Amino acid sequence: MPTSPHDHLRRLPSSRLPQSYVRRLAHAILMPRPEDVVFPRHRERFEDRRRESHQRKLLDEFFDHATLLAVSRLVSHGQIDSIDFPISTGKEGGVFRATKGEEFRAVKIYRISNTTFRHLPAYALEQLRREASVRNFGGLIYAWTRREHTILGRLKEAGVRAPIPYGHYRNLLVMEFIGTAEGAAPRLNTAFIERPEALYEDLVVQVGRMVRDAKLVHGDLSPYNVLWFEERVVLIDVAQAVAREHPGAPALLQRDIVNFAKYFGRLGLDVDPADFLKAVGGDLVGPKDGGS
């Protein structure tokens, strides 16, 4: 007489086991429980009710069933061990600190909804349509996630200071965590800048490498999309970057340079946009002769 509901299956040759059962069993063995991965509870961590309520809200907003399964897959593939807490959240998605062994990583989670695409430029949507139907929001988000992973890899090869990409799956992107055990690095718009001149020189180097070596224009460069870590800039949010030969690239770079010049003016540093543009390789941006 069987002692468990699965004993009769153990007596069957593996080739005769129902495939649906085999798949469920493999999933149960290989995949961690989502609730043990996102915001895990440690015995030494005593959260107050307010923080627990905030985390519950984030769980409801970002971690639906499909996303929880995607997180579990990342864990099973060795990308992360757990997701610890949010770094920043917005309408399009959120960035969370994660743990992998003795180090921290960042996980960006894009929301799967049409809201994510309301602020995307036309050129970005045009490129995404080549990979997925405009009616398939999930497919578009997955393509956007792959795009950011690819661009981050391209920046790394060019020597641009940006988060190192580690992997991606569906609407989740795993990358380098910029910060310390005490917290994430601040964005420039909230950071205290003691030496604006040094910041300007470093920004020129990083944007110049992006234009000259990676052959890309950021497309949305601002103090909101640059981190300040160890007195150096780190470029982030690069999914909307465009090839420097794109017809719209000159206007995008010009706009970003002018806006950053205003930012430096608020710091007490007079920056000529024309000089700034020339310093980062603005003469290389735009369609080549005979092309578009």
Q: Give the span between the Cα atoms of 262 and 189, in whole angstroms.
A: 12
Q: Out of 76-85, 121-130, 274-283, which region has the weakest mean confidence (pLDDT)?
A: 121-130
- Annotated catalytic residue: which of 81, 213, 220, 283? 220
Q: What is the pLDDT of residues 251-277, one digit of tens each?
A: 999 999 999 999 999 999 999 999 999
Judged by phi (left if over 0) then psi (alpha if -120 to 50, else beta), residue 178 lies in beta
* Greatest mean pLDDT range, 13-17, 20-24, 42-46, 140-144: 140-144
pLDDT at 2: 46
CA dihedral angle for residue 204, residue 145, residue 115, residue 243, rounded to 10 degrees: 40
- Annotated catalytic residue: which of 84, 202, 213, 237? 237
272 tagged catalytic: no
Q: Out of 133-137, 185-189, 201-205, 219-223, which region has the weakest mean confidence (pLDDT)?
A: 133-137
Per-residue tokens: 196? 């604006």
270 tagged catalytic: no
Q: Out of 26-40, 66-80, 124-138, 259-273, which region has the weakest mean confidence (pLDDT)?
A: 26-40
pTM reported for the whole predicted model: 0.79
pLDDT at 76: 94
